[in-house]
């Protein structure tokens, strides 16, 4: 194990690369201690870094030199460190940023640490987050406003790319009232109401994101047309909207749960209403095993990645038939269902 196998291509070296845990934890530890941020701020000598990061000087030197070897930092002169282009990515603490996600105290890292329970997830088909962290991810977010705020910010960073497309792709002129089911902190609904001044909107989610969404609606000047309803999408939803949007929420759930959410939308939509599923499908037909995301969904929330056909089959079980599809950039897909 003392031999560096990173350059070899024999089976043993390839296996070493597959199972390495030192590198992922070394990167995350550097982020958690704030090393990339300190270097970016000009603290570059080992003595100063150890002080600023409240680290043991000798142990920090070992961490830094390992990550120099892995291309995260460079040692520009003895005991003086700089960031590589990879290291620079670690300084991004914004909602969608890598630094924010990799910090071991963050919601992102807690999500990934659910992999410790992967054997449980594979044996049972259930998420392992609660077996590792003591409660499921949603309850964890409810109990931890800082993590909830981070999660909502992460979702919002993705909404910035997708919401304007959803607002432009779908014929919202045919709609008077839209309900966003599991709408999070309101990024999508605010965008829809801003882009289409005739629209009224309702957002259903857990209490904390509904409160955040209410602030967003006020800031955007659409509060008079938007209502937030704390609720549970496994229970009956407020009836009477023309369209029930479910944006990137079905992927958080098993088929059984996802069917129930769709059935609740179908019941609330009634004979005339529509259900609009919004998902980002990176490739179509989607091949789940080509990305680790499907397993991340399993361990963290018991969810799964699905392609168009999977969604159509689920919706059929909930009494819904596909009417139209709309494709946006980067895999964004809108599936419009009506009563089947």
For residue 96, give every residue at least 6 positions away whose Cβ sits within 8 Å of its Cβ, in sequence order, or none.
Answer: 153, 154, 157, 158
Using CB under 6 A, pick the residue from 138, 139, 149, 323 that binds ligand SAM. Answer: 138
- Out of 155, 265, 277, 318, name the contact with ligand SAM by CB under 6 A: 155
- Residue 140 contacts ligand SAM per CB under 6 A: no
Asked if 108 interacts with ligand SAM (CB under 6 A), we say no
Least Cβ distance, residue 199 to ligand SAM (angstroms): 17
User: Looking at residue 56, what DSSP letter applies?
Assistant: -
Residue 325 tokens read as 């599809």
Find all residues with CB under 8 Å of 176, minimum gap 6, and list them. 198, 199, 200, 242
Q: Which of 183, 201, 228, 273 binds ligand SAM (CB under 6 A)?
A: 183
Stretch that binds ligand SAM, among 99-107, 176-184, 210-218, 264-272 (CB under 6 A): 176-184
Residue 25, interface with ligand SAM (CB under 6 A)? no
How far apart are the C-alpha atoms of 292 and 300, rounded to whole Å? 12
The answer to the question of residue 249 lying near ligand SAM (CB under 6 A) is yes
Q: What whole-number distance in Å separates Cα of residue 117 and Cα of residue 132? A: 6
Asked if 159 touches ligand SAM (CB under 6 A), the answer is yes
Asked if omega into 325 is within 30° of 0 (cis), the reply is no
Cβ-based nearer residue to ligand SAM, 102 or 188: 188
Query: Least distance (Å) from ligand SAM to the CB of residue 253?
Result: 8
Q: How far is residue 11's CA from residue 3's CA, in Å, rounded to a whole number?
A: 14
Is 31 a binding residue for ligand SAM by CB under 6 A? The answer is no
> Which residue among 233, 244, 286, 337 contacts ligand SAM (CB under 6 A)?
233
Count Cα neighbours of 253 within 13 Å in the Cβ-side half-sphere: 19
Q: How many CB atoms lie within 10 A of CB 101?
A: 21
Single residue of 112, 153, 205, 336 touching ligand SAM by CB under 6 A: 205
CB of 158 to ligand SAM, least distance (A): 6
Q: Which of 98, 206, 263, 306 binds ligand SAM (CB under 6 A)?
A: 206
Cβ burial 131-146 (10 Å sphere, 16+ → b, else e): bbbeebbeebbbeeee
Strands 332-339 and 200-205: unpaired
> Quick one: which of 184, 201, 273, 302 contacts ligand SAM (CB under 6 A)?
184
**For ligand SAM, which is the closer residue by CB, 37 or 136?**
136
Residue 293's alpha-carbon distances to 252, 274, 281, 287, 316, in angstroms, are 11, 29, 12, 11, 25
Distance CA 334, CA 336 (A): 6
Q: Which stretch binds ligand SAM (CB under 6 A): 53-61, 78-86, 124-132, 227-235?
A: 227-235
Angle at 107 between CA 101 and CA 112, to 5 degrees: 75
CB nearer to ligand SAM: pick between 27 and 204: 204
Euclidean distance between CA atoms 120 and 130, whole angstroms: 11
Q: How many residues bind ligand SAM (CB under 6 A)?
A: 18
- Residue range at the interface with ligand SAM (CB under 6 A); choices 170-178, 244-252, 289-297, 330-338: 244-252
Element (H, E) at 2: none
Cβ at position 68, least distance to ligand SAM in Å: 37
Q: Which residues bind ligand SAM (CB under 6 A)?
A: 138, 155, 159, 182-184, 188, 204-206, 209, 232-234, 247-249, 252
């Amino acid at each position: 194990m003392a031999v560096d196998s990173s350059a070899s291509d024999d089976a043993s070296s390839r296996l070493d690369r597959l199972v390495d845990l030192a590198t992922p934890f070394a990167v995350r530890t550097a982020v958690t201690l704030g090393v990339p941020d300190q270097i970016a701020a000009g603290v570059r000598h080992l003595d100063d870094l150890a002080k600023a990061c409240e680290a043991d000087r000798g142990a920090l030197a070992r961490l830094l030199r390992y990550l120099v070897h892995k291309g995260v930092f460079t040692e520009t002169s003895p005991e003086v460190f700089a960031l590589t282009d990879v290291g620079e990515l670690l300084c991004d603490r914004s909602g969608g940023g890598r630094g924010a996600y990799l910090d071991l105290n963050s919601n992102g890292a807690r999500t990934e640490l659910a992999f410790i329970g992967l054997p449980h997830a594979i044996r049972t088909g259930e998420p392992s987050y609660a077996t590792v962290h003591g409660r499921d991810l949603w309850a964890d977010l409810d109990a931890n406003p800082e993590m909830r705020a981070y999660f909502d910010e992460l979702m919002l960073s993705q909404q910035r790319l997708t919401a304007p497309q959803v607002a432009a792709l779908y014929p919202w002129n045919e709609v008077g009232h839209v309900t966003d089911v599991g709408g999070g902190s309101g990024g999508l609904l605010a965008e829809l109401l801003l882009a289409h001044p005739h629209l009224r909107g309702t957002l259903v989610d857990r209490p904390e994101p509904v409160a955040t969404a209410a602030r967003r609606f006020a800031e955007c000047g659409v509060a008079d047309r938007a209502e937030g309803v704390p609720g549970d999408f496994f229970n009956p939803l407020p009836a009477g909207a023309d369209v029930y949007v479910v944006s990137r929420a079905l992927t958080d759930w098993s088929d059984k749960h996802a069917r129930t959410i769709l059935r609740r939308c179908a019941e609330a939509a009634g004979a005339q209403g529509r259900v609009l599923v919004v998902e980002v499908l990176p490739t179509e037909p989607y091949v789940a095993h080509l990305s680790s995301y499907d397993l991340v969904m399993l361990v963290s929330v018991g969810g799964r990645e699905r392609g168009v056909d999977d969604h159509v089959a689920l919706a059929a079980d909930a009494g819904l038939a596909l009417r139209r599809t709309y494709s946006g950039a980067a895999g964004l897909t809108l599936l419009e269902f009506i009563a089947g």
